[in-house]
Amino acid sequence: MSTPLDRLPAEQRSRLREAAPGAELAARPMLATLSDRREFARGGWIFERKLDGVRVLAVREGGTVRLLSRTGRSLNGTYPEIADALTAQDCPDFTVDGEIVAFSEGRTDFARLQQRMQLTDPHQARASGVAVTYYLFDLLRLEGTDVRALPLRTRKSLLRAALSFGGPLRFTTHRNEGGQRLLDEACRRGWEGLIAKVAEGRYVTRRSPDWLKLKCAKGQEFVIGGFTEPAGSRAGFGALLLGYYEDGRLRYAGKVGTGYDQATLLDLRRRLDELATRRSPFADPVREKGAHWAAPELVAETGFTEWTRDGRLRHPRFLGLRHDKRPRDVVRERPRQG
């Protein structure tokens, strides 16, 4: 029986190799590079919507489906309806890459997704009332074959042909031109931004300039290294103390005191008390009155307006905890120029 792989041009078929086990292929996903690039005059790029969710790779081998975070953690119990939809596919063997999101008023809402990210029991996840959608944007393995060396356009075509999309599964569409116009439109709509990808690029197991993050607003992950005491009637804590790794040292980036509801304040205080330590984990002096220190094991998604000259965050706001990022992988994101 003919398969989509059989219909590839001879040159592309020559790039195919027998695939390693699906989970092994998913262990090191391709990562995008933050960029200030605004012109794409030379062409050769495609543009996808940047989604405000969590990266998830999915592996199906035979009748078994595994949903894996960027760090290899199983997510089947967190997103059981996604696992079910992939199990129902006619194609029995694939490894795919994508983003799981939750929507609120037509926009991806990371805070809403947080209500699902913390659940591991499939029954609780289904009863949470938070619907999730899995946007698939790449294909790594198909029918026992490693397709990562194929051009991105070809991988996306194979992905669209191999799987059926509907329900919680969506194919990530793209545009072939108009990068600046598309970015302006994305920002007007209140989106996160765009991902620009080299159309003929391969899927590589590292951060690559072939994938660029174009953000409408600044924001990234930071490691939580402590907190300050609350003032007045506030419960939990006053502000989180944030940092990022540089040459193996946790550098201080400032504090974030906004973006919390009451439940988050209390939950985070409980978690931080369990991680309490006597010594500051930061390599820099932190001159915050009444600071409490915590082992740097929690990662916070944080929005902000800019970096100050002395390396601190201006007007930061807490967006949520990240469960898919290793603290040691959190570095200061510096835009790629040009």
- Summarised one tens digit per residue, pLDDT across range 2-55 is 678 888 888 998 999 998 888 888 888 999 988 866 555 567 899 999 988 999
Residues with a known catalytic role = 50
Fold of 16-215: D-amino Acid Aminotransferase; Chain A, domain 1 (3.30.470)
pLDDT band for 187, please (50, 70, 90 cuts).
Answer: confident
Please state, in angstroms and rounded to a whole number, the distance separating the CA atoms of residues 32 and 46: 14
Please state, in angstroms and rounded to a whole number, the distance separating the CA atoms of residues 181 and 193: 12
Per-residue confidence (pLDDT) for residue 336, from 0 to 100: 64
pLDDT value at 88 more than 90:
yes
Least confident of 71-85, 146-160, 176-190: 176-190
Provide the whole-model pTM.
0.76
Model confidence pLDDT, tens digit, residues 239-291: 999 999 999 999 999 999 999 989 899 999 999 999 999 999 999 999 998 89
Fold of 219-329: OB fold (Dihydrolipoamide Acetyltransferase, E2P) (2.40.50)
pLDDT band for 337, please (50, 70, 90 cuts).
Answer: low
Strand partners, 33: 212
Domains 16-215 and 219-329 agree in fold = no
Each domain of the chain, given as residue ranges in start order, spans 16-215, 219-329
Beta-carbon contacts of residue 157 (< 8 Å; ≥ 6 apart): 4
- Residue whose entry in the numeric block shows the structure tokens 């997510």: 75
Please state, in angstroms and rounded to a whole number, the distance separating the CA atoms of residues 251 and 244: 5
